[in-house]
Amino acid sequence: MTRDDTILVSGASGFIGGWISETLCLTRTATVRAGIRNWAGAARLARFPIELVLCDVMDKESIARAMAGVSCVVHCVAGSSETILNGTRNMLEIAQAQKVGRFVHLSTTEVYGNVCGKIDETCAYQYTGSPYGDAKIDAERLCWEYYSEGLPVSVVRPSIVYGPFSTDWTVRFAQRLQSRNWAIFEGYGEGICNLVYVSDLVSGILLAVCRECAVGEAFNLVGPESMTWNQFFRKFNAALGLPELKVIDAANARLRASVMDPVRSLGKLLLKHFSVPLRKMSQEHRQARELLQLADNWMKTTPRSVELSLYSRNAEYLTTKARDMLGYIPRYGVDRGMRLSVGWLNNVGLVTQSS
């Protein structure tokens, strides 16, 4: 891969796609073409001299225009199950038609399902009923079908990706910790938290782009440290300068989750059908507004039952294959990654760090 090559990054307005686009631009590894679904997603990338193109993965004509003349595609689009599956199918179809030289698909370690032990790339797919995880399995199966037909495909499977611009594992958890409703979960929080800082993930993806040996292969991409989820919560909490977290026993954690799960479902139903009257009521009545804000805060800061299952999963995703074949060496330990993440959160005003 040279500077003369052009790489299309789909989903470039997202967390990981944005990081890949920026890294390609700053390192001059290749010319980057950032594919975004609409111009509303252009703000972050507009800071750089990056070619921005509309690339709606559900629109084949949009894809064909965005993919014209590219050497490689890095497919990072997230979204609904339909977007993950059919969007990947559309991207693969156009890449094959245009004889793209490399197609790197961003998957997830969730394709392994609810497993335990040391997990490498030989482990089988496991459907769990999770819309996200199951759709990613189906998208990977499509990748291997197109690979068998001659498209040079590689698949990367990151674990828990955190860092600046991460909504799920950085912004949302910082808000949960600052709410003081979050806790250490006895019994449930002792599963393995397989963190990977976003810069390490990007380095692994670019290795898969550049290495010929990556074609036809899948790679786990995880950070250099293994810890429990409770340790992650404590480290993040300390990095934010917050008081020590309270401890909740397993029975209490399970009770909270089981109570809040149907409340969340009811809340979504009410918002879907009664959003206008609810908004009007909250504007006109202070007590109603405070009650709705309290309910919203509890819903956002109480773990779901599916989250407790994740926090208790004892699976360690191995990166031996990525190390041996690609030369992947993650360099961001959790303490360093946390400092950078919290620094960014403060710089953009998403949290106010305690003195």
Please state the φ and ψ torsions of residue 280, each to the nearest 5 degrees: -65, -40
Nearest Cα to Cα of residue 104 among 322, 329, 318, 333 = 322
Question: Whole-number mean pLDDT of the chain?
Answer: 89
Higher pLDDT among residues 306 and 160, named by residue = 160
- What CA–CA distance (Å, rounded) separates 14 from 57? 14
Indicate whether 279 belongs to any domain. no
Q: Is the per-residue pLDDT at 275 higher than 90?
A: no
Indicate whether 275 belongs to any domain. no
pLDDT (average), residues 62-66? 98
Indicate whether 154 belongs to any domain. yes
Indicate whether 100 belongs to any domain. yes
Indicate whether 264 belongs to any domain. no
- What CA–CA distance (Å, rounded) separates 161 from 197? 6
Indicate whether 354 belongs to any domain. no
Q: Is the per-residue pLDDT at 276 higher than 60?
A: no
- What CA–CA distance (Å, rounded) separates 280 from 284? 6
Q: Is the per-residue pLDDT at 256 higher than 90?
A: no
**Contact status, residue 36 vs residue 54, Cβ threshold 8 Å:** yes
* pLDDT value for 266: 44
Indicate whether 104 belongs to any domain. yes
Indicate whether 137 belongs to any domain. yes
The structural domain count of the chain equals 1
221-243 tens-digit pLDDT: 999 999 999 999 999 999 999 99
- The CATH number assigned to the domain holding 210 equals 3.40.50.720
Q: Is the per-residue pLDDT at 103 higher than 50?
A: yes
Domain enclosing residue 78, as ranges: 6-170+194-225+315-347
Task: Please report, rounded to a whole number, the percentage of residues in the chain having pLDDT higher than 70.
Answer: 86
130-147 tens-digit pLDDT: 999 999 999 999 999 999
* pLDDT value for 270: 43
DSSP reduced 3-state for 175: helix
Task: Please report, rounded to a whole number, the percentage of residues in the chain having pLDDT higher than 90.
Answer: 75
**pTM (2 decimals)?**
0.89
